[in-house]
Structure 1
Amino acid sequence: MLLRQENPADREAIHAVHLAAFAKHSVPVVEAKLVDELRADGDLIGALSIVAERDGVVVGHVCCSPGRIGEDTKSAVGLGPLGVLPEFHAAGVGSALMHAVLGAADALGHGAVVLLGDPGYYSRFGFVLAERHGITPPVAEWAPHFQVRTLGAHNPSLQGEFRYSPAFDRL
């Protein structure tokens, strides 16, 4: 498996990955549209948009976009979506993508990665409920699934409401 930054030729394959990955979970499938809109808005962070490729075929994708904690617009990024073709579930693709994007975000100097997802899955990557760090979700009902992974540049005094890039608000 090869992990690399996405390139323009990957766009259709990335869209297809998210359509297939979320077909049973989200009707309509908003995750594929979200990636397209983040890219169109200029909010898809190129160094944090990573594909997993097997035998020349894109089988997974993860991305991050700028986020804001309180008034700070530099320290945190929002992760998601993370998608893997169903036939590659439980094959380590998602884990590899998560390790790659977290390492890249840390190397770029981000202090935190925030996401909305299953704590049972994401805790293995060091994510904890965001409220433990004084970070609140934009929608209060998200709190049981709203998580943060602090990185090397994390500033513990940075607390408040997290806001995703505008494309998330248009879902």
Structure 2
Amino acid sequence: MLIRRETRSDIDAIRAVTSAAFAKSDTVSTPNPPNPPDPPNSPSTLATRHALNTTVPVEATLLDELRVSDGWLPALSFVATGDRGEVIGHVVCTRGHVGSDLALALGLGPLSVHPAHQRHGVGLALVHAVLGAADAFGESLVALLGSPAYYGRFGFRPSTEYGITAPDPAWGDYFQVRTLTAYQPSLKGPFTYAEPFDRV
């Protein structure tokens, strides 16, 4: 496994990995379509594409929207590649803000690992990589919405311990913060994600 920055040629593979990682079990199509496959523009193929497009996980759509937003930070978008160079995982941090003075911060997510490669340390390596890069760039903190049991191993703690409030108070301890070297305790207030998080 290799962790590296995303390139433009990775975008379709990242979308596929994100879709697979967040797919609902009742929306997964059969792995082996009938032989021979229908021509690319036949009515049955177009109907299948339409059906699949209606079940695209929101995380994949969010990622597409983030990529063209003001919050996108190309240097903080990482992929994990497998033995053959194929993309097997992805993580991104985008620009967020804290407080009424809109102090700079980061929002982590989505984090995606292809189901065939989950529970093999891919997500662990991706999160460590993006946190290390964020720290090297002088960022103050990273916030996310996720499992405290999973993200606690990276040093994430409930945001309220730092005086930072979630966009939705109902998130409770699932909204977490990881401080970095440049963090100052005076950094407090409501956290705001990049705009697509409010829309998608």
CA contact (8 A) 1:136 1:143 kept: no
Q: Which amino acid aligns with 1:39?
A: R
Decide which structure has the larger Cα Rg and report it: 2
Alpha-carbon distance, 1:39 to partner: 0.7
CA contact (8 A) 1:74 1:110 kept: no
Indicate yes or no: 2:120 matched with 1:120.
no
Indicate yes or no: 2:185 matched with 1:166.
no
CA contact (8 A) 2:96 2:106 kept: yes
In structure 1, list runs of 5 or more residues that go unmatched: none
Tell me the residue number matched to 2:75.
Answer: 47
Alpha-carbon distance, 1:93 to partner: 0.3
CA contact (8 A) 2:159 2:173 kept: no
Alignment of 1:73-88 (within 5 A): 73-88=102-117
In structure 2, list runs of 5 or more residues that go unmatched: 26-54
Q: Which amino acid aligns with 2:152?
A: S
Q: 2:169 aligns with which of 140, 144, 147?
A: 140
In structure 2, the CA distance between the partners of 1:72 and 1:103, relative to structure 1 (3 Å rule), is farther
Indicate yes or no: 2:52 matched with 1:14.
no
Alignment of 1:87-98 (within 5 A): 87-98=116-127
1:101-124: CA deviation from partner (whole Å, max 9, x where unpaired): 000000000010000000000000
Q: 2:136 aligns with which of 107, 119, 124?
A: 107
TM-score by length of 2: 0.82
Counterpart Cα distance in 2 of 1:56 and 1:28: 25
Q: Which amino acid aligns with 1:44?
A: W
Alpha-carbon distance, 1:71 to partner: 3.0
CA contact (8 A) 1:75 1:154 kept: no
Q: Which amino acid aligns with 1:33?
A: T
Alpha-carbon distance, 1:74 to partner: 4.6
Counterpart Cα distance in 1 of 2:77 and 2:179: 19
Tell me the residue number matched to 2:45.
Answer: none
Q: Which moved more, 1:28-37 or 1:77-86?
A: 28-37
Q: Which amino acid aligns with 2:77?
A: S
Q: CA RMSD in A?
A: 1.5
Structure 1's consecutive aligned runs of 4 or more residues displaced over 2 angstroms after TM superposition are 71-75
Counterpart Cα distance in 2 of 1:136 and 1:28: 30
- 3-state SS in 2 of match to 1:142: helix
